[in-house]
Structure formats: C-alpha cells, structure tokens
C-alpha cells in the first residue's frame, strides 16, 4: 500500500469523524431526537463509503508491483 493511499484513508476517516461529531453535538443541542441522531450517523457512514469508493486511489495491482521494488 502506498503512502498516498494511507494518507487518504487517515484524512478521510479523521474528517468524517469530525463532521459526525459536530453534527451529533448540534443535534443534541437543538433537536435532541434519537432517530435524527441515528439517521445522521447512517448518512455520515454511507457518505464516507461512497466518497471513498469514488475517490480512492486506483489500480491496486499496480500499487502491489510498486511495493515490491
């Protein structure tokens, strides 16, 4: 795995957790509803997975060849 892929995964995870946490705080202050909080968590997870699949570093076969060198 290349450093670029690891940086992407760590940055995306950190940003996703930060956005989710801020959303949870705002939901707790203004709305205070379990189902809205659950929906927010599901939305954040799906959005993170979709963005990761769309923007992830491509060509895993080429990445494996580069690691062997």
Domain boundaries of the chain, sorted by first residue: 12-55
pLDDT at 14: 95
pLDDT at 35: 96
How many whole angstroms separate alpha carbon 46 and alpha carbon 53?
11
Each residue's pLDDT tens digit, 12-59: 999 999 999 999 999 999 999 999 999 999 999 999 999 988 887 666
Whether the CB-CB separation of 1 and 63 falls below 8 Å is answered with yes
């Amino acid at each position: 795995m290349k450093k670029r892929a690891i940086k992407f995964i760590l940055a995306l995870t950190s940003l996703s957790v930060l956005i989710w946490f801020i959303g949870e705080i705002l939901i707790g202050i203004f709305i205070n509803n379990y189902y809205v909080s659950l929906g927010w968590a599901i939305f954040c997870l799906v959005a993170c997975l979709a963005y990761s699949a769309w923007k992830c570093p491509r060509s895993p076969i080429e990445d494996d060849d580069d690691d062997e060198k």
